[in-house]
Structure 1
């Protein structure tokens, strides 16, 4: 074949494939031809490509020809004979010299070097050792030749250290060994090239020979890049011995090369100390640290004294130096803990970076100092936490190093860290120009790579908290002095409310300092420690300053309230001040107007709520110290209520604080307080008149929505019930369903609390019934529709609701004539509030021992919850299941299952299965879920509506699946496990799954839902359904129920296999395979169906199945049996089970940290094939 003719054809094809002017057909034809050349005769491919890399051809042709050569070496190398491979390598080396002589463009030089690296990688150590002398000789031929040698030296280790699947483990290790053995030749060569060409560049630049100087400079850069490729793995002592550290350190002073040189130090500084490292390693690392600190000294001197101009390039370089210092301290601090002078200087440098005005430099040192302090203060047996975590191989040595480091974190350093942390609690967007913080580059929303402000502030607060626990008196003094200074500055300001941001920013710092100092760790006799007593004396001054303030503006009152509530931990040790703090809080409350006459005064309403909330927080943090003052607080609350100076919501907050205070006094006092708080509510709540007027039919509820003040009164009653239940010691997830607790403080109150609530919820649910909805007034219809804020939240466009969206008012906005009018926003908030709190009240009530189930009328509960289930929106059903039905299932006594669960589960499961099936069918077949939540909603793009519908559908699917997993959980099915081999009637009789499956009306939709869930593309739901199916399989093993065993062997077995066809089930595939194994192993002896299903798979033969069964019988290992089942399913379906194929394709050979597994994207769900896989004859 004429190789030159072929080369011309290939060149034309390359031009056509890459040319913008080529037509689509020409481009496709050209690509097809190039692919045929790549897959054709390997020798033609080689000869043609070598012709096309010559300088006679255009650059794009030459570059593509290099790609063809690299393809040959990477994928077709073994097709050449050993002699041909040697000749190929020789021609490539000659090519390297030719490219260098012609001063080709950088891309060509780089591709040539990459080709040589590919050849060495494929041929291994022997070729590499032969090439080393040639490479050394070539590097002496001039700057361009030296540059290409450095490029090749760079590509070679990079291809090894960065994992490449083409390179097998053994060959990889051999090549690494060969490179390591060659380091005594490579590193001196790189140092020589660095020294030679840097000097030449400087000399030529001085002579104004700029082009020649550029060539030498390019070689210096290529040399540094090569050095950095070895810096990741070459033994550190070698880097010191052969001058690499010295050479790169010298270049840190040269602006043209310092960033590349700094990259070397960043890479080496992050190298962890090997277990067998000796003093040579420590010495090399210490020299690196000295170099970095010397560079830092000059930069910090100029920066702090303003003695010179610092450019953006200087700051970029300083960031790299700081990052290197952080890496060193995070991984190699133990190398210098024996040298107190260097360690002290190092910590001082990091603190200087911490207080630097540039946010990037400050942030890097913050991350390090936080990890250092956290690790130094950790318990002795703790080795580390992942940051400063390589102090020593053994925990004993680690503790020894910690003891050496801690004394250097002295009072001065702690004071600086506290001062800077306090100053940086404020965002740039909230700071006023001209204040004390103007010199700092504060956190801004524009910064990148540091997370959000909340994450940054959390790091500052953790550092403050750690220092406060370590140096309590310094922290207390610093925070107290700063607050007093800010307050005095505000008192001198003509408009203090406009300069509040600094004081507001310090509130969290105060909370963290006081929380750390007064954390409850007393002396053994229960008294405060000396540090706590001294801290109390310091805080007396701050307390008096706060108490003396006569602020009445809402903004100022709210901030002052925050500071008083932050004193809770302090008041626990200084009870004499409790009364004055309580008095001050009431003074602040009464200084604010109660009536909200216009939006301008809503800030007062907000501030009043915060003052009332302060009592709750004080009750939590001051422990029993408020107990002696509870009667005084109660008397004041009663007085304010009688005077009309306390809103209902505010009264509820005080009631919650009373519950917290009483809980510290014991159950008797808690019971008395509960009765005292609830009795006034019961008189109105239990009146039959309002129930008949407003709750007997939907029109009554419409009328109630016009009685603004009364409807909000009902809302506050329900919310207080919710708070009372939450504060009465109820623990979520209580599964002790047969343990009655009559002493529960709310047990005796449920019979009068819940019936009116059930009527209210039933009336509310009826509004969504089509026959009722069409007759409703417009404002109520609008209030029932999902809000823009809820839709925005569903789209994930905002994590916060718009301000005021879910803020419940007291219904006191009156018109000028005093008659309240219904308002769409009010009605929407009220409906949502009643639903949220009402559902929570019922769910929490199920945890009050047996009282709920023994005292409540199932008829009333049934009507309230599921009478209108078919009219409910998906979001409401999900909430109903989550808040009420799951707790109810968990806590229902087994002797009442027939009364409660049978009644409630049937309508829920029947409708849920029907609705989910329709919506999933729409989503998978038409790409649209069409959930009921968007009926009547106008506006918004179709795409956004589709996304929201799918999210609602998946939300309800997962909640129903969670309910199934609870029904099948071990707590409700004692004795039901796969380990039992014999039938146990007692185990079956105490099983909730067994009870439900005896009722066909419930069993059919429940089991059908399970089968459908395997075909829906939601992996999270599959995981939960699989756990329920495990209980079903176990139950079938322990019973003689023929229908159940047939369902497991036929429908469930085939359904699981179909579920494995979906990629979305990849991360639950192990559970599904395990279920298949259980079914086959335990049922195939008595039922041929599992075998028939396996034989119906498209790629399985009877011999395959027989071999599988034989292998299965030879091992008792569950793990091996599961692997056998997995392999059979993969082979039997021709690798068509995507859930298993995805797992199989995961590369298990890796040298990087494994990434956490994430859920399958919802956007991929519609492309999955949910069809049968040869099971139609069985199904």
Structure 2
């Protein structure tokens, strides 16, 4: 090749990598390089081989290696056999040339990766020829040995990493070839490990540090290579080659122990074979147990006897050892089950890790105890609370692993379980929540901290601890109750002696969580308390009664303490189900706590405490079930008394009313109806009065006036909120659907709320219509400033959209939802009033929408009694003026349940009136906003109008988030319309025909499906179909994979319905418009997550429509890189298989071919599996990669191919 041409390529590489180059220059350079990669394959090979020579810069050489790898992976078959062999020889020669201490590590890695890729492409024959020369090369020196190890590391990647580009046969051949040569590969790796570790020590002893580093690098590369075989090579082979013992030995070498840990992490969860090699496997796994237990023993002894002597490096190492120990115990405990001494030692060490003061080590061990307890406690055959406290475990099991775990439990005495509970209780605390003196009392014990990285969030960790507490409590209830009672008793005692107990609530709050889980496990867990041994029942009841008496005797009045005490009483709910005699004292205590708190207060803590005590009645009613029924009259009398005396807020009365509804649901339908009538009758008299409706809801000025009347507007809110609660709590328990309550035993009883729907909803619709009108342009311009401000996004909504978490809000943002703070007459009143109005508008919208949505679930009482026109006007009259987030909420809360529950004989009356204005507006506004986003970078949604833009970037982020949310909601709504329950009339696609050989006479008219398929109904009505189908097509051009995921089920229903109808226009839409749109969608990388389903849709359209319409073939032939013979070959292959999976693979291959590999969704799917030089597990451990820190930025190894 001419030197000038090589220079041009080198210059293009330099320009493309130079960030100081102009964008035009870089784009031109990238285009030129793409033309070289896509041009003559021989020119590409010759140019790249010339550019990897040492006379070029490292950056150019590195890119040239990537070009060679690209050729091998994607264009290898274009070379003749002789050319491929010549290419392989040149690449192997490169390994010898680049084996120089001065060479860049990344270049050496690229060379090894290139040779490994060639071997994978050529198969076992080349590998057999190459292996001996690699053995010879490795003996020449540490650099050569490092290169060989690198190559051996890359070689099995297509076995260990799923790669869709590697066909099954080639994969099997590679596996067979490598397996056959394991007797040569594994001893070679052990030899390199032993030789160069010894050499590194020797050179270091002679102070020859440069030479020692070369040998150390080889040891690291060899360990990395070993780890590439660790999770698939037969375990006996690894043991026989000496590798297990070799890696075990290196656990004592500080420079290599983390790499050696990686080996044990990979082999520990190996699956036990079922063939004759099981004894060899168990022996090898037993050796691994002994190696890791020896390391654990040394660490636990040292850290236990002198905690201060443990540095961070040793703790990190112990964390990785513990991680492997967890895997061993979870998957291979049977390997040491026969050795009682080893099994007991293992359990003691795992308990030592669980109790360890270092949080990271403790964190790793949690999973073992969870797995052990979950597998056994959740088994139905474990005996319930026996006199031996559940110690007798059923001997039956499903496999040796389960039997080994059962045997492990038999070794664990009460002290074991007590220690697990003690540590679990302590670690429910978070460091940032406790007082300094509390932290001091914990000594060296590390609690969870916000500084913890890579462990998820505190909520996830705490939920795992609570799950463990439940398992232990279910298995050892007496120990759990004793431990939790002892701990709570000591905390309460210290609080009673404390001068300021409310300052340190964290410990008290954490133990409430512990108690909640213990009580639930004992009374609502897998073991039926009612069937437990009488002695155990009595002991448990006595212990809980004592604990309950402690709570009832407390005389706390501080709001924070009262709230926590209320939570403790909540936790006792399941116990009260079995101890009805104690229910009355708990109810009296709750009312005592409620009345002890001040009624008229502006302090948030007191208000929250009062509300929590009221919600405690709901929790008590749910948990205690029928035990609370005898006390209903007493509760009602107390409620009435408190209300008469003005000692109960309306919101609090609503909560107590909801508790009554829960109680009534346990009593039966008649009682439920009576309670509803008692609670709703006073509301009915006020709510249905025409005077307030005409005054406030007849025109916009009335609603503006209502916004200024704080007490009355909040009274309206609480009325609507109680309707919502009543609807949610008015469901039936199947046990109550009996002949006593129904005239017809088999009939479904009328919902107890059915008779109330009409009077509830008529004023509510007027209220919602008036509220919606505030956003219309003609009205919004004349609104007072505080109402205009209240209609904009709140701080909470902005922080949520920006993903900024829980920001501290201004005091006014925390205004109580009953408006009690809004009468403050001091500076800042305007802001407070604005927030008050915003809260009220949001509350009316949230509860009002939910009331409408819940009302649709009642069925005929809604759809046949309500006036559809008034509903449509209230919801859709001003839909064009609504903010996107409000449209989304309206769809989610009202329209989704409405279409789900609307009887099919009412579709004509209801659906078109409601859906037509929504679909038309949504299609137009979504299309406009997406066009603006994709073209100008701004979504321009109505929600952010009026925001004082402190940061344009933040506004853009909020706009895009709001747009995506509405897009996904509309797509989700269409998927609900296409759901199987609403479309029973659509036949399964497989019954419609086989590979385009359809019996046209079997096709039916679209009208046939209009009453048995909501999709059919929608398509029959053009006013609904056109905007819905436009959304369906356009979503494939919007860069939102989640929206495409949701719309795909709607597309599937369209295809299936169209395949069964004779509607030519619909068939043309599917064959041309939808087929083309899906292919365009595959060109967007954002759709990679749903690419398999999209390819499946393409396959269905082609298979079922190519003979009915010419457009599927025309669409494929219009793609840039397809020839007619390619399509013919595809169709021929398609007819040879009836497997949908194989047909999908054929369609995928054709689409890639036809587009010249330009479908980014499919390319992105493949790139997920592409090999990189550093495994994901190693990447998270910086210290493991220390010897590899010389890697340049950018993709390395085989990742460079794409």
TM-score by length of 1: 0.83
Q: Distance in 2 between matches of 1:42 and 1:814?
A: 75
Q: Which whole-Å deviations, capped at 9, do the CAs of 1:90-143 have from their partners, x for residues lacking one?
A: 8567658x847xx87867776776677677667766676677666666766666
Report the equivalent of 1:790.
797
Q: Are 2:281 and 1:281 aligned?
A: yes
For residue 718 of structure 2, give the secondary structure of its aligned residue in structure 1. helix
Q: Are 2:638 and 1:636 aligned?
A: yes
Deviation at 1:759, TM superposition (A): 1.6
Report the equivalent of 2:1068.
1049
Report the equivalent of 1:377.
377
Please report the RMSD computed on the Cα atoms of aligned residues, expressed in angstroms.
Answer: 4.8
1:843-854 map, 5 Å: 843-854=853-864
Q: Which whole-Å deviations, capped at 9, do the CAs of 1:641-696 have from their partners, x for residues lacking one?
A: 11111111111110010100111011111111111111121221122221222112
Report the equivalent of 1:472.
477
Report the equivalent of 2:901.
891
Report the equivalent of 1:693.
695
| Structure 1 residues 1049 and 524: CA distance shift in structure 2, 3 A | same
Report the equivalent of 2:327.
327
Deviation at 1:928, TM superposition (A): 3.2
Q: Which whole-Å deviations, capped at 9, do the CAs of 1:772-791 have from their partners, x for residues lacking one?
A: 22222111111111223212
Q: Distance in 2 between matches of 1:485 and 1:697?
A: 63
Report the equivalent of 2:524.
519
For residue 442 of structure 1, give the secondary structure of its aligned residue in structure 2. coil
Q: Structure 2, unaligned stretches of length 5 or more?
A: 383-396, 735-745, 993-1001, 1177-1202
| Structure 1 residues 883 and 528: CA distance shift in structure 2, 3 A | farther
Q: Distance in 2 between matches of 1:674 and 1:657?
A: 12
Q: Distance in 2 between matches of 1:875 and 1:774?
A: 21
Q: Which whole-Å deviations, capped at 9, do the CAs of 1:352-395 have from their partners, x for residues lacking one?
A: 0111010110000112221222123342799xxxxxxxxxxx94
| Structure 1 residues 222 and 988: CA distance shift in structure 2, 3 A | closer
Aligned residues: 1123
Which of 564, 570, 575 is equivalent to 1:570?
575
Q: Are 2:406 and 1:403 aligned?
A: yes
Deviation at 1:1049, TM superposition (A): 2.4
| Structure 1 residues 975 and 112: CA distance shift in structure 2, 3 A | closer
Q: Distance in 2 between matches of 1:1143 and 1:320?
A: 33
Q: Are 2:817 and 1:809 aligned?
A: yes
Report the equivalent of 1:460.
465
Which of 584, 596, 620 is equivalent to 1:591?
596
Q: Distance in 2 between matches of 1:852 and 1:375?
A: 48
Deviation at 1:281, TM superposition (A): 1.9
Deviation at 1:882, TM superposition (A): 2.1
For residue 434 of structure 1, give the secondary structure of its aligned residue in structure 2. helix
Q: Is the 8 A contact 1:154 1:226 kept in 2?
A: yes
Report the equivalent of 1:314.
314
Report the equivalent of 1:547.
552
| Structure 1 residues 631 and 259: CA distance shift in structure 2, 3 A | same
1:412-561 map, 5 Å: 412-435=415-438, 436-519=441-524, 530-561=535-566
Q: Are 2:951 and 1:941 aligned?
A: yes
Q: Are 2:773 and 1:773 aligned?
A: no
1:912-1061 map, 5 Å: 912-977=922-987, 981=1002, 983=1004, 988-989=1010-1011, 991-992=1013-1014, 1001-1013=1023-1035, 1016-1022=1038-1044, 1027-1028=1049-1050, 1045-1050=1064-1069, 1053-1061=1072-1080
Q: Distance in 2 between matches of 1:567 and 1:225?
A: 54
Moved more, 955-964 or 1111-1120: 1111-1120
Q: Which whole-Å deviations, capped at 9, do the CAs of 1:237-263 have from their partners, x for residues lacking one?
A: 233334333333333334344334433
| Structure 1 residues 1023 and 232: CA distance shift in structure 2, 3 A | closer
For residue 810 of structure 1, give the secondary structure of its aligned residue in structure 2. coil
Q: Distance in 1 between matches of 2:679 and 2:12?
A: 88
Moved more, 784-793 or 240-249: 240-249
Moved more, 542-551 or 60-69: 60-69
Q: Is the 8 A contact 1:517 1:532 kept in 2?
A: no
Q: Which whole-Å deviations, capped at 9, do the CAs of 1:537-582 have from their partners, x for residues lacking one?
A: 1122221221221111111111111101110011111222211111
Q: Is the 8 A contact 2:883 2:943 kept in 1?
A: yes
Q: Are 2:748 and 1:745 aligned?
A: no
| Structure 1 residues 1010 and 740: CA distance shift in structure 2, 3 A | farther
Report the equivalent of 1:262.
261
For residue 1080 of structure 2, give the secondary structure of its aligned residue in structure 1. coil
Deviation at 1:43, TM superposition (A): 9.9
| Structure 1 residues 275 and 803: CA distance shift in structure 2, 3 A | farther
Report the equivalent of 2:1184.
none
Q: Is the 8 A contact 1:698 1:767 kept in 2?
A: yes
Report the equivalent of 1:241.
240
Q: Distance in 1 between matches of 2:1135 and 2:33?
A: 54
Q: Is the 8 A contact 1:1053 1:1079 kept in 2?
A: no
Q: Distance in 2 between matches of 1:908 and 1:1060?
A: 28
Q: Is the 8 A contact 1:381 1:395 kept in 2?
A: no
Q: Is the 8 A contact 2:250 2:256 kept in 1?
A: yes
| Structure 1 residues 197 and 657: CA distance shift in structure 2, 3 A | same
Report the equivalent of 1:1170.
none
Moved more, 642-651 or 224-233: 224-233
Q: Is the 8 A contact 2:876 2:914 kept in 1?
A: yes
Deviation at 1:512, TM superposition (A): 0.9
Q: Is the 8 A contact 2:665 2:733 kept in 1?
A: no
Which of 672, 675, 700 is equivalent to 1:673?
675
Which of 1062, 1067, 1092 is equivalent to 2:1081?
1062
Q: Distance in 2 between matches of 1:380 and 1:527?
A: 14
Which of 714, 723, 744 is equivalent to 1:721?
723
Deviation at 1:173, TM superposition (A): 5.7
| Structure 1 residues 186 and 799: CA distance shift in structure 2, 3 A | same
Which of 850, 863, 874 is equivalent to 2:873?
863
Q: Is the 8 A contact 1:846 1:852 kept in 2?
A: yes
Q: Is the 8 A contact 1:426 1:442 kept in 2?
A: yes
Q: Distance in 2 between matches of 1:812 and 1:1119?
A: 63
Q: Which whole-Å deviations, capped at 9, do the CAs of 1:160-183 have from their partners, x for residues lacking one?
A: 755789988767766665655555
Q: Is the 8 A contact 1:415 1:478 kept in 2?
A: yes
Q: Is the 8 A contact 1:252 1:258 kept in 2?
A: yes
Report the equivalent of 2:609.
607
TM-score by length of 2: 0.82
Q: Is the 8 A contact 1:17 1:31 kept in 2?
A: no
| Structure 1 residues 995 and 740: CA distance shift in structure 2, 3 A | farther
Q: Is the 8 A contact 2:523 2:574 kept in 1?
A: yes
Q: Distance in 1 between matches of 2:46 and 2:1061?
A: 71
Q: Distance in 1 between matches of 2:1109 and 2:948?
A: 55
| Structure 1 residues 531 and 14: CA distance shift in structure 2, 3 A | same
| Structure 1 residues 210 and 799: CA distance shift in structure 2, 3 A | closer
Q: Which whole-Å deviations, capped at 9, do the CAs of 1:921-978 have from their partners, x for residues lacking one?
A: 4334444332222232221433333333333333333433444444454544553436
Deviation at 1:635, TM superposition (A): 1.2
Q: Distance in 1 between matches of 2:126 and 2:1133?
A: 46
Moved more, 233-242 or 843-852: 233-242
| Structure 1 residues 891 and 85: CA distance shift in structure 2, 3 A | closer
Report the equivalent of 1:361.
361
Q: Which whole-Å deviations, capped at 9, do the CAs of 1:389-422 have from their partners, x for residues lacking one?
A: xxxxx94444433432331343222111111110
Moved more, 359-368 or 252-261: 252-261
Q: Is the 8 A contact 1:1011 1:1052 kept in 2?
A: no
Q: Is the 8 A contact 2:272 2:278 kept in 1?
A: no
Does 1 or 2 have the higher relative contact order (CA < 8 Å, sep 6+)? 2
| Structure 1 residues 153 and 580: CA distance shift in structure 2, 3 A | same
Q: Distance in 2 between matches of 1:998 and 1:85?
A: 63
For residue 679 of structure 2, give the secondary structure of its aligned residue in structure 1. helix
Deviation at 1:1144, TM superposition (A): 9.2
Q: Is the 8 A contact 2:156 2:228 kept in 1?
A: yes
Report the equivalent of 2:391.
none
Q: Distance in 1 between matches of 2:1114 and 2:199?
A: 81
Q: Is the 8 A contact 1:147 1:218 kept in 2?
A: yes
